[in-house]
Structure 1
Amino acid sequence: MKIFSPLKTLSKYSLATFRADLPAGLSVFLVALPLCLGIALASGAPLFSGLVAGMIGGLVIGFLSGSEVSVSGPAAGLAVIVADSINNLGAFEVFLTAVVIAGIIQFVLGLLKAGKFSGYFPDSVIRGLLVAIGLVIILKQIPHALGRDNDFEGEFAFQQLADGENTISEIYRAVVTASTGAVIISLASFFLLFFWEKASKKGIGFFKNFPGALAVVILGIGLNELFRMVMPDWYLGTSAHQHMVQIPEIEPDKGIFSVFYFPDFGALTNPKVYVTAITIAIVASLETLLNLEAADKLDPEKRVSSPDQEMVAQGIGNMFSGLIGGLPVTSVIVRTSANVYGGNKTRVSAIIHGIFLLVAVFLGAPLLNLIPLSCLAALLITVGYKLAKPEIFKKTYQEGIYQFIPFIVTVLGIVFTDLLIGIGIGLVVGILFVLFTNFQTAFRVVRDGNKVLIKFQKDLYFLVKPQLKQTLRDLQPGDQVLVDGTYASFIDHDIYNILQDFQETAHTQNIKYELKNVSLKKRSLRHARTREDVISE
Structure 2
Amino acid sequence: MNAMKKQPFSALLKSNFAAGLVVFLVALPLCLGIALASGAPPLSGIIAGVVGGIVIGTFSTSHISVSGPAAGLAAIVLAAVTQLGAFELFLCSVLISGAIQLVLGFLRAGSIAEYIPTAVIEGMLAGIGIIIITKQLPYALGSSKGIDEFSAMLGSVHTGSMVVTVVSVAILLGWDAVPALKRIKMLPAALIAVAAGIGLNAWFKASGSSLEIPTSQLVQLPVPDNWSEIQGMLTLPDFSGFGNSLVWITGITMAVVASIETLLSIEAADRLDVRRRITDTNRELRAQGLGNIVSGLMGGLPITSVVVRSSANANAGATHKTAAVIHGILLLVCVLAIPVVLNMIPLATLAAVLILVGYKLAKPATIMHFWHKGVYQFIPFAATLAAVVALDLLKGVGLGLAISILFILQGNMKRAYYLSREQLADAKVVELALSEEVSFLNKAAIKKTLKNIRPDSTVIINAERSTYIAIDVLELVEDFANIYAKENNIEVILKGFKDNYDHEGHTTRGSHVHIRHRGAV
Q: Gaps spanning 5+ residues in structure 2: where?
A: 509-521
Q: Say if 1:250 and 1:486 are closer, same or farther in 2 by CA, change over 3 A.
A: farther
Deviations 1:85-104 (A, max 9, x none): 968xx9947x7667546534
* Residue of structure 2 in register with 1:288 after alignment: 259
* Residue of structure 1 in register with 2:431 after alignment: 453
1-structure distance, mates of 2:27, 2:18: 15
Give identity over the alignment, percent: 32
| CA RMSD, Structure 1 to Structure 2 (Å) | 4.3
* Residue of structure 2 in register with 1:111 after alignment: 106
2-structure distance, mates of 1:51, 1:421: 30
* Residue of structure 1 in register with 2:518 after alignment: none
Q: 1:58, 1:73 within 8 Å by CA — same for their partners in 2? A: no
Q: 1:177 aligns with which of 145, 153, 156?
A: 156
* Residue of structure 2 in register with 1:535 after alignment: none
* Residue of structure 1 in register with 2:344 after alignment: 370
Q: 2:200 aligns with which of 223, 246, 258?
A: 223
* Residue of structure 2 in register with 1:30 after alignment: 29
Q: 2:165, 2:351 within 8 Å by CA — same for their partners in 1? A: yes
Q: Gaps spanning 5+ residues in structure 1: where?
A: 152-164, 526-537
* Residue of structure 1 in register with 2:68 after alignment: 72
2-structure distance, mates of 1:149, 1:250: 27
1-structure distance, mates of 2:452, 2:120: 35
* Residue of structure 2 in register with 1:243 after alignment: 217
Q: Say if 1:260 and 1:392 are closer, same or farther in 2 by CA, change over 3 A.
A: closer
1:479 lines up with 2:449 in the alignment: no
Q: 2:56, 2:290 within 8 Å by CA — same for their partners in 1? A: yes
Q: TM-score, normalised by structure 1?
A: 0.74
2-structure distance, mates of 1:10, 1:29: 29
Q: Say if 1:273 and 1:377 are closer, same or farther in 2 by CA, change over 3 A.
A: closer
1:426 lines up with 2:400 in the alignment: yes
Q: How does 1:273-284 map to 2 (within 5 A)?
A: 280-281=251-252, 283-284=254-255
Q: Say if 1:439 and 1:29 are closer, same or farther in 2 by CA, change over 3 A.
A: farther
* Residue of structure 2 in register with 1:59 after alignment: 54
Comparing 32-41 with 498-507, greater Cα deviation is found at 498-507
Q: 1:109, 1:115 within 8 Å by CA — same for their partners in 2? A: yes
1:262 CA drift (Å): 5.3
Q: 1:86, 1:92 within 8 Å by CA — same for their partners in 2? A: no
Q: Say if 1:314 and 1:198 are closer, same or farther in 2 by CA, change over 3 A.
A: same
1:247 CA drift (Å): 1.8
1-structure distance, mates of 2:3, 2:395: 34
1:312 lines up with 2:277 in the alignment: no
Which amino acid is 2:461 matched to?
V
Q: 2:461, 2:493 within 8 Å by CA — same for their partners in 1? A: yes
Q: How does 1:325-474 map to 2 (within 5 A)?
A: 325-327=299-301, 329-331=302-304, 336-337=307-308, 340=311, 343=315, 346=318, 350-437=324-411, 440-441=414-415, 443=417, 449-474=427-452
Q: Say if 1:337 and 1:521 are closer, same or farther in 2 by CA, change over 3 A.
A: same
* Residue of structure 2 in register with 1:160 after alignment: none
Larger radius of gyration: 2
Deviations 1:502-537 (A, max 9, x none): 454444444445663484435379xxxxxxxxxxxx
Q: Say if 1:271 and 1:507 are closer, same or farther in 2 by CA, change over 3 A.
A: farther
2-structure distance, mates of 1:386, 1:479: 57
Deviations 1:155-199 (A, max 9, x none): xxxxxxxxxx54xx64x6544432210111111222333443344
1-structure distance, mates of 2:360, 2:225: 40
2-structure distance, mates of 1:348, 1:397: 42
Q: Say if 1:262 and 1:384 are closer, same or farther in 2 by CA, change over 3 A.
A: closer
Say which SS state the counterpart of residue 523 (structure 1) adopts.
coil
Say which SS state the counterpart of residue 38 (structure 2) adopts.
helix
Say which SS state the counterpart of residue 233 (structure 1) adopts.
coil
1-structure distance, mates of 2:299, 2:427: 75
Deviations 1:230-256 (A, max 9, x none): 24421112xxx3211122344658443
Q: Say if 1:249 and 1:419 are closer, same or farther in 2 by CA, change over 3 A.
A: farther
1:371 CA drift (Å): 0.4
1:60 CA drift (Å): 1.6
2-structure distance, mates of 1:391, 1:224: 35
Q: Say if 1:235 and 1:85 are closer, same or farther in 2 by CA, change over 3 A.
A: closer
2-structure distance, mates of 1:185, 1:393: 30
